[in-house]
Amino acid sequence: MSAASKTGIIRNLFAAYLANDRAAVEAAFTDDFRFTSPYDDEIDKATYFARCWKNSDWIERQDLETIMVEGEAAFVTYRCVAREGKSFRNTEFFAFAGDRIRRIDVYFGATYENGAFVRQGDS
């Protein structure tokens, strides 16, 4: 599968998240899908949807800034802007199995509110 095809799968996945299209997101993942983030360690597909699936109506937009594909892997950096003014930038590592996503590892970036840096963990 070409790098352009994998880029298309990633773009479609982010569009499905924004549209709250859970069926499309589930179909993009392999049965043995794993997800890792600062809060989750290699959780499976069922646990991912139970723990991480949320209604995206709080998102104003997602800007895919960089998609770099090499072989069966890709890195994606995106900026997410929330309706109330907060924004954040994350990078995700994708591992593919054919035309489906086998793994996503998320690396969180800084958060901003109305253009100002928000220190995480502050009350």
For residue 102, give the CATH number of its domain.
3.10.450.50
32 vs 51 pLDDT, higher one = 32
Tell me the residue range of the domain where 14 lies.
Answer: 3-118
| CB contact at 8 A, 56 and 20 | yes
pTM: 0.88
Is 83 part of any domain?
Answer: yes
Number of other CB atoms surrounding residue 110 within 10 Å: 12
In the block, residue with structure tokens 């699936």: 53
Is 72 part of any domain?
Answer: yes
Q: At residue 123, does pLDDT exceed 80?
A: no
CA 46 from centre of chain: 16
What's the structural domain count of the chain? Answer: 1
pLDDT value at position 85? 82
Is 96 part of any domain?
Answer: yes
Is 104 part of any domain?
Answer: yes
Phi, psi angle pair for 83, to nearest 5°? -65, -30
pLDDT value at position 121? 66
Is 69 part of any domain?
Answer: yes
Give the closest residue to 107 by CA, choosing from 35, 32, 27. 35
Is 123 part of any domain?
Answer: no
